[in-house]
Amino acid sequence: MTTGAVRLVDLELYGGEDPREQPWYTFPDAARATGIPASTLRSWVVGQTYARKRDRGYFEPIIRRPSCDDPRLSFTNLIEAHVLRALRTVHDVALDHIREAIDLAEREFGIERLLISPDLRTAAGQLFLDRYTDLLELTSAQQLVMRSVLEQYLERVRFDESRLPAEFTPFERSPRNQGRRFIALSPFVSFGKPILRSTGVSTEAVVQRLDAGEPIDVVMADYELSEEEIEEAVLYEAAA
């Protein structure tokens, strides 16, 4: 699936608004797509209190929802959370440190929302990582692991000609399917719902037919899907 720059005619389908910023995903939806526990996502989006010696402190949210009046997240928010998960893989996310490193890189390079920018692969991203790893006092080995993990995560995001995220491929659930990228989410396809990339059918539609008792070979034939694609659809929808 390829996605070019957003055109005005494309935006007519979404009331003239960029679909990347539409509130479409509940916390469970976002957790399923990113592999991040819903409780962790909530703390990144809503903020979190923490204990101090004499009182309680508060971490300001690092991800901003499209609307304070709507609890759902946008496609852009999914990408931000996905990148934050890469940082958490090596070290528990320190929100204040991440915020400081992001602010520095954005200020130096005039970038808005670095976590959704392809500039994470350029000098801006290098400055961000240098500052972040310095704040965390990571060893050289930990820094190498973090940079490698971040690159693996960024490869799951496709940017369009406007340099904004246009497609996201979640990590595969089945070990035998690793790297095959059967499932994708795009704000320009099926209103951001997870689909099987080969045919565009939603994972939900596949699972609903199987749950209704239809034989797997019938569903495979109707949608022209492989057994591995069916497996990924089932595992994706079953994820908490």
> In the chain, where are the structural domains located?
169-240
Q: What is the pLDDT of residue 3?
A: 45
Q: What is the pLDDT of residue 106?
A: 96
Q: What token pair was written down for 144? A: 């190498």
- pLDDT means per 10 residues in the chain (240 residues)? 47 76 96 94 86 78 91 96 87 78 95 95 95 89 89 95 93 96 95 96 97 97 97 92
Q: What is the pLDDT of residue 47?
A: 83
- Please state which CATH number belongs to domain 169-240: 1.10.10.10
Q: What token pair was written down for 26? A: 């509940």
Residue type for position 56: R
Q: What is the pLDDT of residue 87?
A: 87
For the chain, the residue count is 240
| End-to-end Cα distance, the chain | 26
Q: What is the pLDDT of residue 52?
A: 76
C-beta atoms surrounding 141 within 10 Å: 8
Q: What is the pLDDT of residue 127?
A: 96
Q: Identify the residue whose tokens are 């990144």.
A: 44
- Cα Rg of the chain, angstroms: 19
For residues 167 and 215, the answer to whether their CB atoms sit within 8 Å is no
Q: How far, rounded to the nearest angstrom, does the alpha carbon of residue 124 sit from its chain's CA centroid? A: 20
Q: How far, rounded to the nearest angstrom, does the alpha carbon of residue 103 sit from its chain's CA centroid? A: 20
Q: What is the pLDDT of residue 90?
A: 66
Q: What is the pLDDT of residue 12?
A: 65
